[in-house]
Amino acid sequence: MSRYTLEKMLDRTRPGMFISGATGRQEGWVDDQNGQTKIGEYCAIAYQIWWLGRLIEIDGTLQYGDIIERTLLNHVYAAQNPEDGRERYFVNINGKRSYEKGAHCCQGNFHRSLARMPEYIFYTLDNGIAVNLYASCETEISIEGMKVRLEQRTDYPVSGDIEMTIEPSQEKDFALRLRIPKWAGTFNVTVNKQPVVTKQVKGGVEIRRKWKKGDAVRLELPMESRWIQGRGFNEGYYALMRGPQVFCLSERYNPNLKDYSWRDITVDPESLGPPSQEDQRVKQRNGLMCTATGWSPTSDRSQPADVNLVFTDFPEESAMETYYKLPDATDTMEDELYR
């Protein structure tokens, strides 16, 4: 049943999973990709993360971590207002998001699941340690009765540079498995600034060596923007992603768009600027923003672009739309999580 569900979530033509990592509408299964109302009941999302974490525990495959990461950095962070702490029951993909009044099940599960997120960063394997999520943190893991202290330093996903320090209490031979996200076409990994031989494993790579106190691992993942093809309701529309993050157009940063059908705006992909944190709100939540220009729904695309656009990371609380039109489908791709 578990494999069957995963297959349906990631089905190439009728995926149950939305681009934000959410699954379900109005607390039920859907695969039409219509993200307008009541998307991703938080309780279901919490259990989805716990279930994927269990699958990693069963076979050490870090590919499930790609889905956990997608869900955490997009749907989960969007499920709480970063300014006043209010939590959402659902987080829509297409159209305005709302809050539920009063107390509800999803608030409890939101707190439970966030409190448990540190459990999904490191895993112990038969032959060593796996790093599933990238975030600044430190921990102590026991393998074969010996303590290993690990530390990660990174501003991920703003950059794809992750530094790790490995400190076994004494020299020890074990494998360090790193998740290489499917969106990363290339990557670079060094130990003590030297290139290392890595072994390809499902969802990542493994470095096996005699680790000693202070060994420094550096992983560099390329953070490039890409346009993701919509499915079902969003067929013919495209979403902007960079690394694990989905972007959106929001009311706060795009007051000029309020009279338009947001998803019928055509973005000029050539005009996409570099990501920045120049807005204080965005910086505070370690989010990102970037600018572009585009054409309003009824304008003539043979004429110069007539609207300025500001994209922000998906958790932006005034988000209005995740999918837009592009002049053509060149340089667009399927969501890498679908298979």
- Interface residues toward Zn ion, by CB under 5 A: 43, 105-106
Of 337, 323, 243, 238, nearest to 287 by C-alpha is: 243
**Residue 109 or 198: which CB sits closer to Zn ion?**
109
**Residue 69 or 87: which CB sits closer to Zn ion?**
87
- Given a contact cutoff of 8 angstroms between Cβ atoms, the answer to whether 20 and 70 are in contact is yes
Backbone φ and ψ of 63, nearest 5°: -60, -35
Beta strands 146-154; 332-333: pairing state: unpaired
**Residue 110 or 323: which CB sits closer to Zn ion?**
110
**Residue 43 or 309: which CB sits closer to Zn ion?**
43
Nearest distance from C-beta of residue 62 to Zn ion, angstroms? 28
Nearest distance from C-beta of residue 245 to Zn ion, angstroms? 25
Nearest distance from C-beta of residue 101 to Zn ion, angstroms? 14
Nearest distance from C-beta of residue 70 to Zn ion, angstroms? 20
Of 9, 69, 41, 12, nearest to 228 by C-alpha is: 12
Of 183, 190, 143, nearest to 167 by C-alpha is: 143
**Residue 107 or 234: which CB sits closer to Zn ion?**
107
HEC readout, the chain: CHHHHHHHHCCCCCCCECCCCCECECCECCCCCCCCCCECCHHHHHHHHHHHHHHHHHHCCCHHHHHHHHHHHHHHHHCECCCCCCECCCCCCCCCCCCCCCCCHHHHHHHHHHHHHHHHCEEEECCEEEECCCCCEEEEEEECCEEEEEEEEECCCCCCEEEEEEEECCCEEEEEEEECCCCCCCCEEEECCEECCCEEECCEEEEEEEECCCEEEEEECCCCEEEEECCHHHCCCEEEEECCEEEEEECCCCHHHCCCCHHHCEECHHHCCCCECCCHHHHHCCCCEEEEEEECCCCCCCCCCCEEEEEEECCCCCEEECEEECCCCCCEECCCCCC
Angle between helices 42-59 and 63-70 (to 10 degrees): 160
Nearest distance from C-beta of residue 171 to Zn ion, angstroms? 49
**Residue 26 or 271: which CB sits closer to Zn ion?**
26
Nearest distance from C-beta of residue 46 to Zn ion, angstroms? 8
Nearest distance from C-beta of residue 89 to Zn ion, angstroms? 6
**Residue 106 or 217: which CB sits closer to Zn ion?**
106
Nearest distance from C-beta of residue 20 to Zn ion, angstroms? 17
Nearest distance from C-beta of residue 44 to Zn ion, angstroms? 7
